[in-house]
Each structure stands twice: as C-alpha cells, then as structure tokens.
Amino acid sequence: MRRTSLGSTGISVSRFCLGTMMLGSWGNADHSDCVRLVHTALDAGVNFIDTADMYAGGETEEIVGKALKGRRDDVVLATKVHFPMGDDPNHGGNSRRWIRREVENSLRRLGTDYLDLYQIHRPDPSTDIDETLSVLSDLVREGKVMAIGSSDFSAEQIVEARWTAERRGHVPFHTEQPPYSLFMRGVERSVLPTAQRYGMGVMTWSPLASGWLTGRFRKGRGDGIGELGSFRSDMIPYKFDQSLPGNAHKLAIVEELVELAAECGLPVSHLAVAFVLTHPAVSSVIIGPRTVEQLTDLLAGAEVTLDDAVLDRLDALVAPGTDLNPSDADYTPPHFADASLRRLPARRRGA
C-alpha cells in the first residue's frame, strides 16, 4: 500500500483510508465480521481509519475501538463531531460546550486516550469559527488531539478558518474532507486548490458516489436499493430514484464508464477510485466497504494508475469542476435551503 504525508502534518498515511460508516447497524450489524474487516485492511497495509461519533449513534466508534485493541499505535485514527447525538439541542454542533464533552465520549468509545485527527463534520452557522478553533486548539495543546480538520467546508469557509486561526493564535485546520468522485467534481473548482494552497491534507469521501460507480446500478436492472443497507435506503433514497432526471443522467454515464473500464481491463470501481487519487491535492481516498468481500475487491485496485488519454475521456464524460447531479450534495448552506435568509423582510422591501 502506497503512503504519503497527510498535508504538512508530517503524519504518514496510506493512500487508502478505511471509512467505517457501514460498520454497525447502518450497514453490517455483525460486530465480529466488522472487526475482521478492519483487521483485513490493516494487514493489507492500510494504516488510516476514519469514523465519526454519529455513525450508528456511536456504535461504529465502539466497533473500531474493539478492532484496534493491541494495534492502536500503528494506526492513524480520525473521527468527527457535529451531528446531533440526542434530542437536546446542545448535544450537537460546533460549540465549545459540546466539543469539549463529546471528544471525551469518542475517546471512551474508541478505547484510546488520544486522536490523531479530530474533524468538524459540517459547518455550523450558529457558532463562530473562532469558538470552534479555540476549543480544538486547547485539545491539541492538551495532547488529546494531534491534528484537526474540517469536512464539507466551502473554499471561503476554509479561508475564513485559516485567517481566524492566524489572527487569534489558534491551531489551523490541518485537513479537509470533501466528497469527490467522477460524479461529484465540484470541489475541483475551488475547494481542492484552496486546501492545496494552505498545505492541507485532503481525505476525500464517497469515491464510488454512494455505490453508483460500482457498476451495480445499470439500465434495465432494477434500482438495487434493497442491497444498500439501511443508511442509503432509509436516509438517502433520492440518490437512487431512477425516475428523477439527475439519476437518469447518472445511468447514462455509468454505461459509458463500464465500456471505458472494460477497455482498460478494470472494474468500474477501480477506475473510479484511481481517478480520485490522480488529483495532486488528494492525500488519501476514503473507501467505505460493508463486507470483507467489498474491501478485498477495492484493495485489489490500490496500485491502479490512469494515463492522460483515459483522464481526457473521463473529462469529456463529466466536465471538470462540475457535479453531475447537484441535488446529490450532502450539505446545503442554510442560505440556499431557507429562502428567508436571502430575502429582505417584506416591510423593508416596501411591501
């Protein structure tokens, strides 16, 4: 397994990072099988594991903790905080109050006394970035966290965080974790260049576009959603409804990708993952298998590289810097989702 430095942190990580969202009730409920999956990845040379407190309500962190007993020091361990962990509105977000409490919960579930990387899972418009960076900096100085990162931050939010850190004497974000795949190339426009400009490590997620780039979803073969596990089928079914125009477009592109992959002598999944690793800003790509068999298939493509001729054909299928189906975005800024945030009150409009 090839290694690289995680941005300017000096931490050496494998080019594949094991994503664990599918370990536990959202995907694979067999804890013993999940532990075997983690060990298979480690034995294959993967030294980088990413999880989050909210995955399966904390169950996933507990599974990872079980799997790392006796092997913790050989692993670069990353987790995330932000999403609600209960009904109390203070049990979530990016406040000092919540982060200070939740980092202890993650450490307990993971069975460790430090985290190699602690990430803010999503932006929080209700919390000043100064507040968030302040508590994260305290955790770094206390030795509970080695490095800090963001996830799904826009380029302007990355810049704001960097400027805030410089002006207030905080530790800056060391990494960014954006979605990136052949179907979601929007981050090429500004997020990846901005992270690269600041020397940030980039660990990208969903290289297979929630399973679309495995070749499982094909024209005339049903929607396949029943095979996805509860997270995808229950929480993001709109990404697989083939009656929607955006998903119909994905079906058409998949057919062309299957043909191109066959010409290259590759499975579509290997082509898709290799594409992500081609970008110079990307340190590691997060793969999120649900079974050992899926993991083994992805690991077989770890050394695949793509030449310029293939990359040019991929650019022709999905233009650089564009998202094939913008409605697939997992994070929508509040001012896009809430019309009141982009409209003056009626009384000020003269109505």
Please name the helix (run of DSSP H) or strand (run of DSSP E) that holds residue 78, with its range, or none.
strand 76-81
Q: Give the contacts of 237 (CB within 8 A, at least 6 positions apart).
A: 225
Q: How far apart are CA 18 and CA 40, in angstroms?
A: 11
Structure tokens at 256: 């062309």
Round to whole Å and give the CA distance between 297 and 126.
Answer: 42
Helix 308-317 to helix 268-278 angle (10° resolution) is 100
Q: Which residue type does 49 have?
A: I
Residue for token pair 């993650």: 106
Residue 323 and residue 316 in contact, taking contact as beta carbons nearer than 8 Å: no
- Whole-angstrom Cα distance, residue 81 to residue 98? 9
Catalytic residue among 55, 114, 118, 198: 55
Hey, how many other C-beta atoms are within 10 angstroms of the C-beta on 141? Answer: 10
The residue to which tokens 């509040």 are assigned: 334
Beta strands in 91-220 (DSSP E): 117-120, 148-151, 175-177, 201-204
Distance of CA 162 to the CA centre of its chain: 21
**How far apart are alpha carbons 187 and 280 in whole angstroms?**
13
**How far is it, in rounded angstroms, from Cα 23 to Cα 31?**
8
Dist CA 26 CA 34 (whole Å): 12
Q: What SS3 class is residue 100?
A: helix
Tokens of 88: 């109390």
Does the annotation mark 331 as catalytic? no
Decide if 244 contacts 251 (C-beta within 8 A).
Answer: no
DSSP 8-state code for residue 16:
E
Catalytic annotation, residues: 55
